Amino acid sequence: MTKTRFLALVTALLLLLAIPTSVFAQRVPPHVFVGSVVLDGVAAADGAAVTAWVDDEQVADTTASGGDYSLVIDQGDSSYAGKTVSFKVSGSDAVETASWMQGGGDILDLNAATDSGSASVGSTGPAGPAGMWGAKGDDGADGADGAAGAAGPPGPAGSDGNDGADGADGARGAAGAAGASGSDGSDGASGADGSDGGGGLGVIALIVAIVALLAAGGSYMMGRRA
């Protein structure tokens, strides 16, 4: 039951209630049918004829619109109370039937199939009741993946990672230029005193020196006298 069909039925019933009571005194309230209409497994095309039949006589007609229909069946001069109402879609019998009821209102989805061998309109009797539903078919194959959605906003920043390991030592660089000369260092410590010379040799050397001085002095004096 779709919202559209429900609203159509309610609208039709409200219109019937809006008819003055004096009119109802002369006319029996009709039975209203609304619902979807399917022909050969697909929604009936807009403009497809939808007719209602009682005792092999057409009692109402309309056309499909958007895959739906709406029929108002008046009783007319004959009494339809409790009689079976059958339906045709583009001349093909619908599976569904209903009982006419004074002032009734039903949502009835119609399903029909074309049959090239059927008799002319009006010669076919009421359709039988709907058959049992068949077993559920196998699941269809999965559809293709849809397009990727838009990227979401960036998430919060993560915590700092651990410090990495120290890298290997780099190659040794070239030798730099020679620096400026440094200042003079402080004086070194005094050396140790030398040992005393030999005693006998020293005396001899002293005597020789004295003799040499005396000889030199004598020669100088003799030279002056001459």
Residue 184 banded pLDDT, cuts 50, 70, 90: confident
pLDDT for the residue 56: 92
Residue 170 banded pLDDT, cuts 50, 70, 90: confident
Would you kindly state where each structural domain of the chain is located, as residue ranges?
Answer: 3-112
Higher pLDDT, 217 or 91: 91
pLDDT for the residue 57: 93
197-215 residue pLDDT tens: 556 777 787 787 787 777 7
Task: Kindly report the average pLDDT of the chain as a whole number.
Answer: 77
pLDDT for the residue 137: 66
142-155 residue pLDDT tens: 778 878 888 888 88
Q: DSSP assignment of the chain, as one string?
A: --HHHHHHHHHHHHHHHTS-HHHHTTS---EEEEEEEEETTEEPPTT-EEEEEETTEEEEEEE-BTTEEEEEE--TTS--TT-EEEEEETTEEEEEEEE--TT-EEE--EEE---TT---TTSS-PPPPP-PPPPPPPPPPPPPPPPPPPPPPPPPPPPPPPPPPPPPPPPPPPPPPPPPPPPPPPPPPPPPPPPPPPHHHHHHHHHHHHHHHHHHHHHHHHHHH-
* Over residues 185-207, mean pLDDT: 68
Higher pLDDT, 164 or 76: 164
* CATH class (in words) of the domain with range 3-112: mainly beta
